[in-house]
Amino acid sequence: MPNADPRVALPVGERQYHIGLGPGELADYILLPGDPDRTARIAARFDSIELERRNREFASATGTYRGQRVSVLSTGIGTDNVEIAVAEILAIVERPTFIRVGSCGALQPYIEPGDLIISSGAVRLETTTSFFVHDGYPAVADYEATIALVEAAFRLGHRAHVGITATAPGFYAAQGRPIPQLPIRYPDLAEELARQRVLNFEMEASALLILAGLARCRAGVVCAVYAQRVAGTFLTGEAKERAEAACVETGLEALSVLAEIDRQKSAAGVDRWRPSIWQTA
């Protein structure tokens, strides 16, 4: 049937225009990397794969991991792409759980390259979310997703930090990086945010957290530190690959933790998880 709202210019049918997926092709538990090439590396960790697809920057795979049906879908770079991905996922999955697995630049001197940063919330430097909410509306991670990521990093032995992330609408001027050929308005942006105890810069978290929260879905964010902005260092080669692997396996482990949390909530007959449920399970 044609879409009932003429403002939504989508083709006839249920398959979504950008992600190329229809109902039933994504699991309820979804990893969201930015890089489409990362999707295949994540899917290689699945126990089995039932579907793989790619359209534009949106590469996806669905399968099982430790007996739980899971999916991975790349968003590409930026909050505008996250808006597309999340909107189309919500059209075909009733109540998805999202974990973003990405990369970032650290703003605090004690955070080392290769560490993980789990976002408790995000500074909305981008404008995509302003088309959904008031400019003072906070981008906050779901507490169950945050707990699951902290537990996952601990289980796997990965050094992780928890705190506020800044989501920028670009990589260079929007993160205070100088560009020799161009003027930038806020050359001290990184230092200013660091004074406000912001842990890192990345480019997608706030959109995911806002949109998931509005849809009453869970979302969490974990990023591997590729750049140390204070020291001016950047991971390359095998060190970068190890950091990505740590981030990915933490995201997958967090989905397993969330699935267990859901089973325990169901058994207890409650809709909100609390520590005592886990302790008595």
Q: pLDDT (tens digit, 9 = 90+) per residue, 65-79?
A: 999 999 999 999 999
pLDDT, tens digit (0-9, with 9 covering 90-100), for 109-164: 999 999 999 999 999 999 999 999 999 999 999 999 999 999 999 999 999 999 99
Report yes or no: 66 and 55 within 8 Å, Cβ to Cβ.
Answer: no
Closest to 127 measured CA to CA, from 169, 173, 75, 82: 169
Spatial contact of 63 and 47, defined as CB atoms under 8 Å apart: yes
Give the span between the Cα atoms of 236 and 243, in whole angstroms.
10
Which is catalytic among the residues 18, 41, 53, 155?
A: 18
> Which one of 83, 88, 126, 249 is the catalytic residue?
88
Q: How confident is the model over 100-124, as pLDDT tens digits?
A: 999 999 999 999 999 999 999 999 9
- Does residue 232 register a pLDDT over 50? yes
- Establish whether 229 is a catalytic residue: yes
| Cβ(84)–Cβ(15) below 8 Å | no
CA atoms of 172 and 209, how far apart (whole Å): 23
Whether residue 42 contacts residue 3, with contact meaning beta carbons closer than 8 Å, is answered with no
pLDDT value of residue 1: 42
What sign does the dihedral 254-256-261-266 (CA atoms) show? Answer: positive
Q: Is the pLDDT of residue 12 over 80?
A: no
Check residue 15 and give its pLDDT. 86
Please tell me the distance from the alpha carbon of residue 59 to that of residue 67, in angstroms, as a whole number.
22
Condensed to tens digits (0 to 9), the pLDDT of residues 44-69 reads 999 999 999 999 999 999 999 999 99
Q: What is the pLDDT of residue 2?
A: 46
How high is the pLDDT of residue 14?
A: 75
Please indicate whether residue 177 is annotated as part of the active site. yes
Is 41 noted as a catalytic residue in this protein? no
Q: One-letter amino acid identity for 13?
A: G
Name the catalytic one among 100, 124, 158, 177.
177
Percent of the chain past pLDDT 90, that is, above it, reads: 92
Query: Residues, the chain, total?
Result: 281
The confidence score (pLDDT) of residue 187 equals 96
Full DSSP string of the chain: ---S-TTS---SSSS-TTT---TTSS-SEEEEES-HHHHHHHHTTSSEEEEEEEETTEEEEEEEETTEEEEEE---SSHHHHHHHHHHHHHH-SS-EEEEEEEEEE-STTPPTT-EEEEEEEEE-SSGGGGTS-TT--EE--HHHHHHHHHHHHHHT--EEEEEEEE-S-SSGGGT--BTTB--S-TTHHHHHHHTT--EEESSHHHHHHHHHHTT-EEEEEEEEEEETTTTEE--HHHHHHHHHHHHHHHHHHHHHHHHHHHHHHHHT-SS--HHHHHH-
Q: Of 124, 121, 118, 72, nearest to 98 (Cα)?
A: 72
Burial class (CB in 10 A: 0-12, 13-18, 19+), 167: buried
The confidence band for 91, taking pLDDT boundaries of 50, 70 and 90, is very high
Question: Quick one: pLDDT at residue 3?
Answer: 53
Is residue 45 flagged as an active site residue? no
Question: Considering 229, 244, 249, 253, which one is annotated as catalytic?
Answer: 229
pLDDT for 277 equals 87
Q: Report the C-alpha gap between 34 and 280 in whole angstroms.
A: 37
Q: Give the strand pairing for 68-73 and 29-33.
A: parallel
The overall average pLDDT reported for the chain is 94
